[in-house]
Amino acid sequence: MNHLKKGICGIIVLTLCAGMLTGCGGKQETAETESTPAAEVSAASDAAAESLSEAQESADEAAAKEKLTAFLEGCKNHDLDAILSVADYGGLYQALEGDAFDEAQFRQNLEAMLCDSFESYSVGELTSSYQDLVTFNGNVSSFLREMEEEPEVPDDEETLRLIGYAKQTMKPADNRCAFAVTVNAGGTETTDDLVMLRCGDTWQLDLVTETATRIYQNRMYNAGQQQE
């Protein structure tokens, strides 16, 4: 149980604290050498590779922001299809409810949960770094390994469905972009980070944290019931 808690907490902390990890490096002294044609070619190649990487990052940031904006517009305009094209709430809630899942009721509940929760919004600066992606992927891989271990208390049906959903959908991301999103509700502004994940060519709102947290909460509840 402690191992599971550690893996999930890693995912949650990273999601809530996107952009707070920083890296530092020391200065290095190098001897000056005379440039050679080969060295110049190598330097040019390195510069081209760095430029290409920066261009990819810029394109990824723009694509992630576009998808996040589509999600927020969906929430604002009661467009459930737009919401579900960016966030797999349907898959998550089918895993939660199993045979009791009702599509019409689900859409009604989703609208009540996400729509009309704010009057306006703004998507701010990118708050995540490459190191956040590396750490996130490490936590996801660790969590999935932990799902292969036998729990201290047998899982109930809901937890087993959630684990199946996690194994099917949760995977290391090709990129991760967190943005500071400010919403205005009733004259009160609040700002939180919202995270987008790219797997292949597809950007989706991050539901990893919610899935992992529900599995952990279920296992903690089951363990508590066993002790009573």
The whole-number pLDDT of residue 53 equals 79
* β-strands 120-126, 202-205 pairing: unpaired
The whole-number pLDDT of residue 228 equals 66
Taking each helix axis as running N to C, give the angle between helix 130-146 and helix 157-169, from 0 to 180 degrees, rounded to the nearest 10.
140
Which residues of the chain register pLDDT less than 70? 1-52, 228
The whole-number pLDDT of residue 226 equals 77
The whole-number pLDDT of residue 3 equals 39
The whole-number pLDDT of residue 28 equals 36
Kindly report the CA angle at 8 between 6 and 11, in degrees rounded to 5?
110
> How long is the chain?
228
What 3-state DSSP class applies to 43?
Answer: helix
The whole-number pLDDT of residue 151 equals 85
Q: What is the pTM of this model?
A: 0.75
Enter the tokens of residue 24: 């530092």
The whole-number pLDDT of residue 137 equals 93
Q: Per DSSP, what are the bridge partners of residue 188?
A: 185
Q: Could you count the other beta carbons within 10 Å of the beta carbon of residue 124?
A: 12
